Amino acid sequence: MTDRLRLGVNIDHVATVRNARGGDNPDPLRAALMAQEAGADGITAHLREDRRHIRDADMAALKEHLTIPLNFEMAATEEMREIALRTRPHAVCLVPEKREERTTEGGLNVAGQANELAYYMRPLQEAGARISLFIAADRAQVEAAHRTGAPVIELHAGAYADAWAEGRWADRDEELRKLTEMAAYAHDLGLEVHVGHGLTYDSVGPIAALSEVRELNIGHFLIGEAIFRGLGPAIAEMRRCMDVGRA
């Protein structure tokens, strides 16, 4: 098993900017291809029920043109499963979705619906998609995720990232402790562990240092930073911060 931590770049917010004006610019596919060129190990895109950023045609174009893996982030609905089965992405990340939220605010409540999720996931798994469940760093959720038969979990780093951003250092340390413990626990159960949400150059290091974590998914901060440095350099700097944290 290679120890290299993978970086998945989430390009949703390129589409957010495009949609603010209508039309085709900036093009999320172009951003994804640049990210690929800059060393991203995968591209993540979230097709939301309300299509507020990524659209169906974006997903099809990403799948057609990328040579690195596509991670299709979506809610566990019938509509999304049909689209994912048509798109045939490398991975599907199941997330909770609420219309009124600004972003994916919490983890999926797997503990309350493990059997239903296992049933929902089956056709996607049969079609070859690696399923990842986006959950809070909580033992009951990790256990339930394991029971569904999903090979991967993504731990929600939002509370850790928020505490960091707001300078609440005791909370940050507590959230990091939970992520650390649950990454180790999930790894012991045989799950592959990813982490994502809200990570920045500052906050990524301690997460990259967790040896059980195989992949980080990072979007909003990188797309913002691209305004100042360009997307390629923004990604290269994140890669550097991850490598320093890992070492």
Catalytic positions, written as ranges: 46, 73, 197
The interface region with ligand PXP, picked from 55-63, 74-82, 194-202, 225-233 by CB under 6 A, is 194-202
Binding ligand PXP (rule: CB under 6 A), the pick from 33, 93, 153, 234 is 93
The answer to whether residue 29 forms part of the interface with ligand PXP (CB under 6 A) is no
The answer to whether residue 204 forms part of the interface with ligand PXP (CB under 6 A) is no
The answer to whether residue 58 forms part of the interface with ligand PXP (CB under 6 A) is no
Contact pattern from residue 147 through residue 166 relative to ligand PXP, giving x for each residue in contact according to CB under 6 A and a dash for the rest: -------x------------
Binding ligand PXP (rule: CB under 6 A), the pick from 7, 10, 135, 234 is 10
The answer to whether residue 28 forms part of the interface with ligand PXP (CB under 6 A) is no
Site for ligand PXP in 117-146 (CB under 6 A): 134
SS3 letters across the chain: CCCCCEEEEECHHHHHHHHHHCCCCCCHHHHHHHHHHCCCCEEEEECCCCCCCCCHHHHHHHHHHCCCCEEEEECCCHHHHHHHHHHCCCEEEECCCCCCCCCCCCCCCCCCCHHHHHHHHHHHHHCCCEEEEEECCCHHHHHHHHHHCCCEEEEECHHHHHHHHCCCHHHHHHHHHHHHHHHHHHHHHCCEEEEECCCCCCCHHHHHCCCCEEEEEECHHHHHHHHHHCHHHHHHHHHHHHHHHHC
The interface region with ligand PXP, picked from 51-59, 138-146, 219-227, 230-238 by CB under 6 A, is 219-227
Binding ligand PXP (rule: CB under 6 A), the pick from 14, 199, 213, 235 is 199
- In the complex, least distance from residue 127 CB atom to ligand PXP, rounded to whole angstroms: 20
- Where along the sequence are the contacts to ligand PXP (CB under 6 A)? 10, 12, 46, 73, 93, 95, 103-104, 134, 154, 196-199, 217-221
